[in-house]
Amino acid sequence: MEYYAIVHNDFDGTASAAVYARAARTLPKKVFFTEPTKIGDLLNNLNLGDVKKIMIADIGMNQDTLPKVLTALQKFKEVKVEWFDHHVWKENWKEEVKKAGVELYHDVSTCGAGVVNKYMNPDDDFSKKIASADCSVDIWLHNDPLGEKLRRIVEYNRDYSWKEHLIALFYSGKLWEDDFNEILEEMVNKELKGYNKLKKYFKVITIDNEKVAFAIRWKGPPDISYAAQYIMSRTGASVFVSANGVAVSFRSNSFNVRKFAVGLGGGGHPLAAGASLKLPLLYRIYRKLGMTGPVISYVMKKISPIIEENGFERI
Protein backbone atom coordinates (compact mmCIF):
# COMPACT_ATOMS: atom_id res chain seq x y z
CA MET A 1 0.00 0.00 0.00
CA GLU A 2 1.34 3.43 -0.92
CA TYR A 3 1.84 5.80 1.98
CA TYR A 4 3.15 9.22 2.91
CA ALA A 5 5.79 9.65 5.59
CA ILE A 6 5.73 12.79 7.74
CA VAL A 7 8.79 13.10 9.96
CA HIS A 8 10.90 15.59 11.87
CA ASN A 9 13.65 17.29 9.87
CA ASP A 10 16.58 15.68 11.69
CA PHE A 11 18.48 12.41 12.13
CA ASP A 12 15.70 10.91 14.25
CA GLY A 13 13.06 11.71 11.64
CA THR A 14 15.22 10.33 8.84
CA ALA A 15 15.98 7.15 10.80
CA SER A 16 12.31 6.73 11.72
CA ALA A 17 11.25 6.90 8.08
CA ALA A 18 13.87 4.31 7.12
CA VAL A 19 12.92 1.89 9.89
CA TYR A 20 9.24 2.20 9.00
CA ALA A 21 9.98 1.61 5.32
CA ARG A 22 11.80 -1.61 6.19
CA ALA A 23 8.76 -2.72 8.21
CA ALA A 24 6.39 -1.78 5.37
CA ARG A 25 8.76 -3.36 2.82
CA THR A 26 8.48 -0.32 0.59
CA LEU A 27 9.64 3.27 0.53
CA PRO A 28 7.03 6.03 1.00
CA LYS A 29 5.48 7.65 -2.03
CA LYS A 30 6.68 10.96 -0.60
CA VAL A 31 8.43 12.13 2.56
CA PHE A 32 7.40 15.38 4.21
CA PHE A 33 9.99 16.83 6.60
CA THR A 34 8.56 19.26 9.13
CA GLU A 35 8.67 20.67 12.65
CA PRO A 36 6.25 19.71 15.45
CA THR A 37 4.77 23.23 15.51
CA LYS A 38 3.90 22.95 11.81
CA ILE A 39 2.28 19.51 11.73
CA GLY A 40 -1.26 20.89 11.94
CA ASP A 41 -0.82 23.17 8.94
CA LEU A 42 0.90 20.45 6.95
CA LEU A 43 -1.93 17.96 7.56
CA ASN A 44 -4.60 20.54 6.75
CA ASN A 45 -2.94 21.32 3.40
CA LEU A 46 -2.01 17.74 2.53
CA ASN A 47 -3.32 16.47 -0.81
CA LEU A 48 -3.77 12.74 -0.41
CA GLY A 49 -4.69 11.79 -3.94
CA ASP A 50 -4.98 8.01 -3.98
CA VAL A 51 -2.81 7.51 -0.88
CA LYS A 52 -4.65 5.66 1.87
CA LYS A 53 -1.97 5.54 4.54
CA ILE A 54 0.06 8.10 6.48
CA MET A 55 2.86 7.50 8.95
CA ILE A 56 3.97 10.27 11.29
CA ALA A 57 7.12 9.91 13.37
CA ASP A 58 9.22 11.94 15.78
CA ILE A 59 6.61 14.70 15.80
CA GLY A 60 5.47 15.75 19.26
CA MET A 61 2.21 17.40 20.28
CA ASN A 62 1.45 20.61 22.14
CA GLN A 63 -1.70 22.42 23.21
CA ASP A 64 -1.55 24.99 20.40
CA THR A 65 -1.06 22.36 17.68
CA LEU A 66 -3.73 19.91 18.84
CA PRO A 67 -6.85 21.75 17.50
CA LYS A 68 -5.35 22.06 14.00
CA VAL A 69 -4.36 18.40 14.00
CA LEU A 70 -7.83 17.26 15.09
CA THR A 71 -9.44 19.40 12.39
CA ALA A 72 -7.16 17.95 9.73
CA LEU A 73 -7.82 14.38 10.84
CA GLN A 74 -11.50 14.82 10.05
CA LYS A 75 -10.71 14.54 6.34
CA PHE A 76 -8.66 11.38 6.85
CA LYS A 77 -11.50 9.10 7.95
CA GLU A 78 -10.80 6.72 5.05
CA VAL A 79 -7.06 6.85 5.61
CA LYS A 80 -4.97 4.80 8.02
CA VAL A 81 -2.86 7.13 10.15
CA GLU A 82 -0.07 5.72 12.31
CA TRP A 83 1.76 8.09 14.66
CA PHE A 84 5.01 7.18 16.42
CA ASP A 85 6.52 9.50 19.00
CA HIS A 86 8.75 9.58 22.07
CA HIS A 87 8.16 13.11 23.34
CA VAL A 88 5.99 13.76 26.38
CA TRP A 89 2.25 13.96 25.64
CA LYS A 90 -0.55 14.84 28.02
CA GLU A 91 -3.04 12.03 28.44
CA ASN A 92 -5.90 14.06 27.01
CA TRP A 93 -3.85 14.77 23.86
CA LYS A 94 -3.39 11.05 23.33
CA GLU A 95 -7.06 10.35 23.95
CA GLU A 96 -8.21 13.04 21.51
CA VAL A 97 -5.87 11.87 18.75
CA LYS A 98 -6.92 8.24 19.20
CA LYS A 99 -10.60 9.23 19.12
CA ALA A 100 -9.88 10.88 15.76
CA GLY A 101 -8.85 7.48 14.41
CA VAL A 102 -5.07 7.60 14.78
CA GLU A 103 -3.12 4.49 15.75
CA LEU A 104 -0.79 6.13 18.25
CA TYR A 105 2.43 4.44 19.37
CA HIS A 106 3.84 6.49 22.21
CA ASP A 107 6.91 5.51 24.21
CA VAL A 108 9.14 7.96 26.09
CA SER A 109 11.78 5.33 26.88
CA THR A 110 13.42 5.53 23.46
CA CYS A 111 13.93 7.76 20.41
CA GLY A 112 11.57 8.11 17.44
CA ALA A 113 13.25 5.40 15.39
CA GLY A 114 13.28 3.24 18.51
CA VAL A 115 9.49 3.54 18.81
CA VAL A 116 9.00 2.52 15.18
CA ASN A 117 11.42 -0.37 15.54
CA LYS A 118 9.87 -1.58 18.80
CA TYR A 119 6.28 -1.63 17.59
CA MET A 120 6.58 -2.31 13.86
CA ASN A 121 9.67 -4.44 13.21
CA PRO A 122 11.29 -5.60 16.48
CA ASP A 123 13.02 -8.62 14.92
CA ASP A 124 14.84 -6.70 12.20
CA ASP A 125 18.48 -6.56 13.35
CA PHE A 126 19.38 -3.87 10.82
CA SER A 127 16.58 -1.61 12.08
CA LYS A 128 17.90 -2.16 15.60
CA LYS A 129 21.29 -0.85 14.45
CA ILE A 130 19.71 2.28 12.99
CA ALA A 131 17.63 2.86 16.13
CA SER A 132 20.62 2.29 18.42
CA ALA A 133 22.76 4.83 16.56
CA ASP A 134 19.90 7.33 16.47
CA CYS A 135 18.93 7.02 20.13
CA SER A 136 22.55 7.44 21.17
CA VAL A 137 22.57 11.05 20.00
CA ASP A 138 18.88 11.99 19.97
CA ILE A 139 18.20 11.33 23.65
CA TRP A 140 21.79 11.89 24.77
CA LEU A 141 22.66 8.33 25.71
CA HIS A 142 26.06 8.56 23.99
CA ASN A 143 26.40 4.78 23.98
CA ASP A 144 26.81 4.04 20.27
CA PRO A 145 29.75 5.63 18.36
CA LEU A 146 27.96 5.08 15.06
CA GLY A 147 25.37 7.65 16.10
CA GLU A 148 27.91 10.47 16.21
CA LYS A 149 29.04 9.56 12.71
CA LEU A 150 25.62 9.15 11.12
CA ARG A 151 24.26 12.32 12.71
CA ARG A 152 26.96 14.31 10.98
CA ILE A 153 26.22 12.57 7.68
CA VAL A 154 22.51 13.39 7.92
CA GLU A 155 23.22 17.03 8.77
CA TYR A 156 25.86 17.44 6.07
CA ASN A 157 23.28 18.65 3.56
CA ARG A 158 20.12 20.52 4.57
CA ASP A 159 18.41 19.72 1.28
CA TYR A 160 15.52 17.30 1.72
CA SER A 161 16.70 15.23 -1.25
CA TRP A 162 19.82 14.31 0.75
CA LYS A 163 17.70 12.92 3.58
CA GLU A 164 15.55 11.06 1.06
CA HIS A 165 18.71 9.50 -0.36
CA LEU A 166 19.74 8.38 3.13
CA ILE A 167 16.30 6.93 3.85
CA ALA A 168 16.57 4.86 0.68
CA LEU A 169 20.10 3.81 1.59
CA PHE A 170 19.13 2.69 5.09
CA TYR A 171 16.04 0.98 3.71
CA SER A 172 18.27 -1.06 1.41
CA GLY A 173 20.23 -2.40 4.38
CA LYS A 174 23.28 -0.19 4.02
CA LEU A 175 24.48 2.28 6.65
CA TRP A 176 27.66 3.63 5.11
CA GLU A 177 29.00 4.62 1.70
CA ASP A 178 32.64 5.23 0.77
CA ASP A 179 32.18 8.98 0.30
CA PHE A 180 30.79 9.28 3.84
CA ASN A 181 34.37 9.10 5.15
CA GLU A 182 35.27 12.31 3.33
CA ILE A 183 32.04 13.97 4.46
CA LEU A 184 32.71 12.99 8.07
CA GLU A 185 36.24 14.39 7.91
CA GLU A 186 34.98 17.64 6.39
CA MET A 187 32.29 18.02 9.05
CA VAL A 188 34.68 17.36 11.93
CA ASN A 189 37.24 19.82 10.55
CA LYS A 190 34.59 22.54 10.37
CA GLU A 191 33.53 21.78 13.92
CA LEU A 192 37.09 22.00 15.22
CA LYS A 193 37.50 25.42 13.63
CA GLY A 194 34.14 26.50 15.02
CA TYR A 195 35.04 25.72 18.62
CA ASN A 196 37.55 28.58 18.54
CA LYS A 197 34.80 31.17 18.12
CA LEU A 198 32.51 30.00 20.92
CA LYS A 199 34.00 32.10 23.74
CA LYS A 200 31.95 35.21 22.93
CA TYR A 201 28.71 33.26 22.72
CA PHE A 202 28.35 31.89 26.25
CA LYS A 203 28.71 32.76 29.91
CA VAL A 204 28.82 30.50 32.97
CA ILE A 205 27.18 31.36 36.28
CA THR A 206 26.51 29.41 39.47
CA ILE A 207 22.96 28.55 40.55
CA ASP A 208 22.46 26.60 43.78
CA ASN A 209 26.09 25.48 43.73
CA GLU A 210 25.87 24.14 40.17
CA LYS A 211 27.48 25.79 37.16
CA VAL A 212 25.12 26.61 34.29
CA ALA A 213 26.34 27.71 30.86
CA PHE A 214 24.07 30.17 29.02
CA ALA A 215 24.65 30.59 25.30
CA ILE A 216 23.15 32.23 22.25
CA ARG A 217 23.33 30.40 18.96
CA TRP A 218 26.05 31.05 16.42
CA LYS A 219 26.28 30.49 12.68
CA GLY A 220 27.83 27.30 11.43
CA PRO A 221 29.29 24.28 13.21
CA PRO A 222 29.61 22.94 15.81
CA ASP A 223 25.93 22.29 16.37
CA ILE A 224 24.26 22.65 19.75
CA SER A 225 24.82 19.07 20.93
CA TYR A 226 28.55 18.99 20.26
CA ALA A 227 29.03 22.54 21.54
CA ALA A 228 27.11 21.71 24.71
CA GLN A 229 29.43 18.81 25.47
CA TYR A 230 32.49 20.90 24.68
CA ILE A 231 31.45 23.87 26.81
CA MET A 232 30.30 21.79 29.76
CA SER A 233 33.50 19.74 29.80
CA ARG A 234 35.70 22.85 29.50
CA THR A 235 33.89 24.90 32.15
CA GLY A 236 32.61 22.26 34.55
CA ALA A 237 29.02 23.33 33.90
CA SER A 238 26.33 20.80 34.78
CA VAL A 239 23.66 22.31 32.52
CA PHE A 240 23.84 23.98 29.13
CA VAL A 241 21.18 26.48 28.02
CA SER A 242 21.08 27.75 24.43
CA ALA A 243 18.73 30.34 22.87
CA ASN A 244 18.38 30.82 19.11
CA GLY A 245 15.95 33.76 19.07
CA VAL A 246 12.69 31.81 19.05
CA ALA A 247 13.38 28.84 21.32
CA VAL A 248 15.63 27.70 24.13
CA SER A 249 17.31 24.29 24.48
CA PHE A 250 18.54 22.56 27.62
CA ARG A 251 21.22 19.86 27.82
CA SER A 252 22.87 17.99 30.67
CA ASN A 253 24.74 14.79 31.33
CA SER A 254 23.53 14.39 34.89
CA PHE A 255 20.46 16.51 35.69
CA ASN A 256 16.82 16.43 34.61
CA VAL A 257 16.52 19.46 32.33
CA ARG A 258 13.02 18.57 31.16
CA LYS A 259 11.78 20.20 34.37
CA PHE A 260 13.17 23.53 33.20
CA ALA A 261 11.60 23.20 29.74
CA VAL A 262 8.22 22.32 31.23
CA GLY A 263 8.50 25.41 33.40
CA LEU A 264 8.51 27.43 30.17
CA GLY A 265 5.65 25.47 28.60
CA GLY A 266 7.89 23.11 26.66
CA GLY A 267 9.05 19.54 27.13
CA GLY A 268 11.43 16.88 25.90
CA HIS A 269 13.66 14.29 27.55
CA PRO A 270 15.43 14.26 30.90
CA LEU A 271 18.83 15.09 29.36
CA ALA A 272 17.68 17.08 26.31
CA ALA A 273 14.65 19.36 26.25
CA GLY A 274 13.41 22.67 24.90
CA ALA A 275 10.73 25.35 24.91
CA SER A 276 9.68 28.49 23.08
CA LEU A 277 11.49 31.71 24.02
CA LYS A 278 11.22 34.53 21.52
CA LEU A 279 13.70 37.33 21.99
CA PRO A 280 12.24 40.87 22.04
CA LEU A 281 12.97 42.96 18.95
CA LEU A 282 15.72 44.97 20.66
CA TYR A 283 17.66 41.83 21.57
CA ARG A 284 17.17 40.34 18.11
CA ILE A 285 18.79 43.53 16.75
CA TYR A 286 21.63 43.19 19.26
CA ARG A 287 22.14 39.62 18.09
CA LYS A 288 22.28 40.60 14.43
CA LEU A 289 24.81 43.31 15.26
CA GLY A 290 27.00 40.78 17.05
CA MET A 291 26.38 42.28 20.49
CA THR A 292 26.25 39.00 22.38
CA GLY A 293 26.59 40.27 25.96
CA PRO A 294 23.15 41.91 26.33
CA VAL A 295 21.45 38.93 24.69
CA ILE A 296 23.10 36.39 26.98
CA SER A 297 22.16 38.54 29.98
CA TYR A 298 18.52 38.61 28.83
CA VAL A 299 18.42 34.82 28.47
CA MET A 300 20.01 34.41 31.90
CA LYS A 301 17.44 36.75 33.42
CA LYS A 302 14.54 34.77 31.91
CA ILE A 303 15.85 31.26 32.57
CA SER A 304 17.68 31.49 35.91
CA PRO A 305 14.46 31.86 37.97
CA ILE A 306 12.99 28.79 36.23
CA ILE A 307 16.06 26.75 37.15
CA GLU A 308 16.03 28.05 40.74
CA GLU A 309 12.32 27.33 41.13
CA ASN A 310 12.54 23.75 39.84
CA GLY A 311 15.89 22.84 41.33
CA PHE A 312 18.50 20.34 40.21
CA GLU A 313 17.29 16.74 40.08
CA ARG A 314 20.15 14.34 39.50
CA ILE A 315 19.48 11.42 37.16
Q: In this structure, what CATH number is given to the domain that contains residue 40? A: 3.40.50
Regarding whether 225 and 280 lie in a shared domain, the answer is: yes
pLDDT of 266 higher than 90: no
pLDDT of res. 282: 96
Average pLDDT for 260-286: 90
pLDDT of 148 higher than 90: yes
Assigned domain for 159 exists:
yes
Q: What is the pLDDT of residues 168-188, one digit of tens each?
A: 999 999 999 999 999 999 999
Assigned domain for 302 exists:
yes
Regarding whether 72 and 31 lie in a shared domain, the answer is: yes
Q: Tell me the residue range of the domain where 291 lies.
A: 195-310
pLDDT of 269 higher than 90: no
Cis-peptide, bond into residue 222, ω within 30° of zero:
yes
Regarding whether 106 and 32 lie in a shared domain, the answer is: yes
pLDDT of res. 268: 80
For residue 267, what pLDDT band results from cuts at 50, 70 and 90?
confident
Regarding whether 295 and 153 lie in a shared domain, the answer is: no
Q: What is the pLDDT of residues 67-118, one digit of tens each?
A: 999 999 998 989 999 999 998 888 999 999 999 999 999 999 999 999 999 9
Q: Mean pLDDT score of the chain, rounded to an integer?
A: 95
Assigned domain for 315 exists:
no
Regarding whether 159 and 19 lie in a shared domain, the answer is: yes
Regarding whether 156 and 15 lie in a shared domain, the answer is: yes
Regarding whether 265 and 119 lie in a shared domain, the answer is: no
pLDDT of res. 141: 87
pLDDT of 276 higher than 90: no
- Give the three-state DSSP class for 15: helix
Q: What is the pLDDT of residues 15-68, one digit of tens each?
A: 999 999 999 999 999 999 999 889 999 999 999 999 999 999 999 998 889 999
Assigned domain for 186 exists:
no
Assigned domain for 75 exists:
yes
- Among 177, 203, 225, the domain boundary falls at 177
Regarding whether 68 and 144 lie in a shared domain, the answer is: yes
Regarding whether 274 and 143 lie in a shared domain, the answer is: no
Contact 24, 127 (CB under 8 A): no
pTM of this structure: 0.86
Regarding whether 127 and 15 lie in a shared domain, the answer is: yes
- Give the three-state DSSP class for 241: strand
Q: How far is CA 46 from CA 27, 217, 264, in A?
A: 19, 33, 31
Regarding whether 208 and 172 lie in a shared domain, the answer is: no
Regarding whether 273 and 151 lie in a shared domain, the answer is: no
CB count within 10 Å of CB 252 equals: 26
For residue 223, what pLDDT band results from cuts at 50, 70 and 90?
confident
Domain count, the chain: 2
CATH value at residue 291: 3.10.310.30
